[in-house]
C-alpha cells in the first residue's frame, strides 16, 4: 500500500483552522513571562488579540512612552536610568524632593504627573490613610521574591500592598575627623551650644526635615522621636533655637556635595549613606550613632493613585529590584539594600560595614518614626514653623 504523506499536513491545517474558529487561546498566551530587554515603549494598540498575546509572550507588558519618577536627592545611580531608557525605550523624567513632608505637600496640592515615588515608612502609612497610593500587583514585580524577610511585610504596610522597600538606613552624626576632636558620641555635638559652637567656624549642617530634626532633639532630651507631649515638643524647639545660631545650613538635599568641599562643613546631622558617599571622596569623614540613639528608617517605591502608567511603573520597580541592577545602585548610594540576592554583587566594604548593615546592638538603640495622630501633627507643625521662622 502507498503511504499517504500528503494527508498529515492537510489534516493538521484543518485542525488549526478549526481551533482558531473556536477562538481557543494557546496556553502560552495566558502565561506572560517576565519582561525582556526587547520591551519597547508603544502606545499603539496591536492589530489583533492574537498579536497582544504574542507580544506579551515576547516582551512583557506594554510600556508607556514616558515615566515620571520623583525621588530623594542623590539617591540613585543615574546611569541606571539611562540603561533602563535604552533597554525599554521609555523616557524617564526624573525630579527630586527634600523631605517626606515636601513629597506629601506636592501630592496633596494636586500634582498628578508622578508615577513612581519614594516615601519613607511612616509616610507610606500616612499616604495609605489619605488614599494617595495605588495598590501594587506583586505578580508584576516578580523580583520582590528577592527582598529579605527583615525588610518585607512592614508594620506601616502589612503585606506590602502599597509599597516595596528601596533602601534602609539610619540617621546620626557625620563629622570630619581631622577637625572634630574628640569624636562626637552624643547629640550634644549638634544641640548643646557649648559643644556645637566650637565648630561654628568649620560649619555645622542639620537636616531640613521636621520629623528628623525635632526627633533628634527629642532623643537628646531623652524622649521618643514620636513624642506627642506638647511640653516636650516645646522643650525640643527651645533646644534647637538655642543651638541654631551656631549652625551654618539646614540642608537635606545638597549637603553631600558640601561635605566634599574643604572648609564648608565639619559636622552634620545626616543619613548614614550620604556621609559614606562623602567619605568615599574624602576619607576624613566618619559617621557615628549618638549614645542617646537615633532613627532607623526604610524608604520605599510606591505608585501614586493618580498615576496613569501603573504597568510601566511596576515594570521599572521590578527592573531596579533585579539583583545586579540593585547592587549597582547600592554600590553608588552606600545604603543597605533590602534585596538579599543582590549581596553577591555588592562591594564587601559596604556589606561588611556594621554602620550600614546594622548589628543587633545598634538596631536595639534605634527607633522607627511613626505616623502622628492629627492633633499631635498640628503641634509638631507649629513647632517646626517656629523653628524655621527665627
Ligand atoms: N540622599 C537621600 C537619602 C534619603 C534618606 N532617607 C530619608 C529617611 C527619612 N526618615
* pLDDT at 32 (0 to 100): 25
Domain 16-168+297-352 homologous superfamily, CATH: Periplasmic binding protein-like II (3.40.190.10)
Task: Please work out whether the CB of residue 75 comes within 6 Å of at least one atom of ligand 1.
Answer: yes
Verify whether ligand 1 is closer than 6 Å to residue 253 (CB atom): no
Atom of ligand 1 nearest to the CA of 256: 1
271 Cβ inside 6 Å of ligand 1: yes
Mutate to test the pocket of ligand 1, among 70, 71, 72 (most ligand atoms within 8 A of CB): 72
Cβ(120) – ligand 1 distance below 6 Å: yes
Nearest to 346 by CA among 20, 77, 14: 77
What pLDDT score was predicted for residue 84?
98
166: Cβ below 6 Å to ligand 1? no
- C-alpha to C-alpha distance for 164 and 154, rounded to whole angstroms: 10
Which atom of ligand 1 is nearest the CA belonging to 274?
1
**Nearest residue by C-alpha to atom 9 in ligand 1:** 120
Candidates 3.40.50.150, 3.30.300.30, 3.40.190.10, 3.30.565.10; correct CATH number of 170-296+362-389? 3.40.190.10
Distance (angstroms) between ligand 1 centre and the Cα of 271 equals 6
Distance in Å, CA 3 to ligand 1 centroid: 76
Ligand 1 pocket residue status of 297, Cβ below 6 Å: yes
Ligand 1 nearest-atom number relative to CA 74? 1
Closest alpha carbon to 329 in 170, 165, 175, 207? 165
Q: What is the pLDDT of residue 374?
A: 87
pLDDT of 390: 86
Interval between CA 57 and ligand 1 midpoint (Å) = 38
Q: Tell me, what's the pLDDT at 10?
A: 35
Q: Indicate if ligand 1 lies below 6 Å from the C-beta of 255.
A: no
Q: Is 74 in the pocket of ligand 1 (CB under 6 A)?
A: yes
Spacing of C-alpha 228 from chain mean position? 27
Q: What is the pLDDT along the chain (390 residues), one digit of tens a residue?
A: 333 333 333 333 333 333 332 322 222 222 222 222 223 333 322 222 233 333 343 457 899 999 999 999 999 999 999 999 999 999 999 999 999 999 999 999 877 789 999 999 999 999 999 999 999 999 999 999 999 999 999 999 999 999 999 999 999 999 999 999 999 999 999 999 999 999 999 999 999 999 999 999 999 999 999 999 999 999 999 999 999 999 999 999 999 999 999 889 999 999 999 999 999 999 999 999 999 999 999 999 999 999 999 999 999 999 999 999 999 999 999 999 999 999 999 999 999 999 999 988 889 999 999 999 989 999 999 999 999 998
Q: How far apart are CA 303 and CA 390, in angstroms?
A: 37
> Whole-model pTM?
0.84
Best residue among 260, 297, 299, 301 to mutate for probing ligand 1, ranked by most atoms within 8 Å of CB: 299
Query: Closest Cα to residue 25, out of 47, 63, 57, 62?
Result: 57
* Ligand 1 site-directed mutation target among 271, 295, 301, most atoms within 8 Å of CB: 271
Cβ–ligand 1 distance for 98 under 6 Å, the answer: no
Ligand 1 atom 6, closest CA: 299
Ligand 1 pocket member 72 (CB < 6 A): yes
**CATH 3.40.190.10: which residues of the chain?**
16-168+297-352, 170-296+362-389
Each residue's pLDDT tens digit, 133-169: 999 999 999 999 999 999 999 999 999 999 999 999 9
CB of 168 sitting under 6 A from ligand 1: no
Q: Is 53 in the pocket of ligand 1 (CB under 6 A)?
A: no
168: CA distance to ligand 1 center in Å?
8
- pLDDT tens track for 153-162: 999 999 999 9
pLDDT of residue 175: 98
Amino acid at each position: 500500500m502507498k503511504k499517504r504523506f500528503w494527508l498529515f499536513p492537510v489534516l493538521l491545517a484543518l485542525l488549526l483552522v478549526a481551533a482558531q474558529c473556536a477562538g481557543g487561546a494557546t496556553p502560552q498566551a495566558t502565561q506572560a513571562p517576565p519582561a525582556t530587554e526587547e520591551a519597547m515603549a508603544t502606545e499603539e494598540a496591536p492589530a489583533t488579540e492574537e498579536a497582544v498575546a504574542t507580544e506579551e509572550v515576547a516582551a512583557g507588558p506594554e510600556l508607556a512612552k514616558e515615566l515620571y519618577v520623583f525621588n530623594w536627592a542623590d539617591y540613585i545611580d543615574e546611569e541606571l536610568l539611562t540603561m533602563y531608557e535604552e533597554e525599554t525605550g521609555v523616557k524617564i523624567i526624573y525630579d527630586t524632593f527634600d523631605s517626606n513632608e515636601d513629597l506629601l505637600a506636592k501630592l496633596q496640592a494636586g500634582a498628578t504627573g508622578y508615577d513612581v515615588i519614594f516615601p519613607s515608612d511612616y509616610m507610606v502609612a500616612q499616604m495609605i490613610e489619605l488614599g494617595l497610593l495605588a495598590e501594587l500587583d506583586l505578580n508584576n514585580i516578580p523580583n520582590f521574591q528577592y527582598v529579605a524577610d527583615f525588610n518585607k511585610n512592614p508594620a506601616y504596610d502589612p503585606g506590602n500592598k502599597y509599597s516595596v522597600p528601596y533602601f534602609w538606613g539610619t540617621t546620626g552624626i557625620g563629622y570630619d575627623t581631622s577637625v572634630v576632636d574628640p569624636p562626637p558620641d552624643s547629640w550634644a555635638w549638634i544641640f548643646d551650644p557649648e559643644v556645637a559652637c566650637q565648630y561654628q567656624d568649620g560649619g555645622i549642617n542639620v537636616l531640613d526635615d521636621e520629623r528628623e530634626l525635632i526627633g533628634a532633639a527629642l532623643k537628646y532630651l531623652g524622649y521618643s522621636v514620636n513624642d506627642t507631649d506638647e511640653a516636650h515638643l516645646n522643650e525640643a524647639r527651645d533646644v534647637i533655637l538655642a543651638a541654631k545660631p551656631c549652625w551654618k545650613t539646614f540642608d537635606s538635599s545638597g549637603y553631600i556635595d558640601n561635605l566634599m568641599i574643604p572648609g564648608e562643613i565639619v559636622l552634620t546631622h545626616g543619613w548614614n549613606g550620604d556621609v559614606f558617599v562623602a567619605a568615599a571622596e574624602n576619607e576624613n569623614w566618619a559617621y557615628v550613632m549618638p549614645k542617646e540613639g537615633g532613627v532607623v528608617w526604610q524608604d520605599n517605591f510606591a505608585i501614586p493613585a493618580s498615576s496613569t502608567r501603573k504597568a510601566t511603573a511596576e515594570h521599572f520597580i521590578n527592573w531596579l529590584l533585579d539583583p545586579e541592577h540593585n547592587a549597582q545602585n547600592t554600590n553608588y548610594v552606600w545604603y543597605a539594600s533590602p534585596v538579599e540576592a543582590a549581596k553577591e554583587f555588592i562591594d564587601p566594604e559596604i556589606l561588611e560595614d556594621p554602620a550600614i548593615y546594622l548589628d543587633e546592638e545598634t538596631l536595639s538603640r534605634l527607633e522607627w518614626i511613626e505616623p502622628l495622630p492629627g492633633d499631635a501633627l498640628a503641634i509638631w507643625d507649629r513647632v517646626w514653623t517656629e523653628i524655621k521662622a527665627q
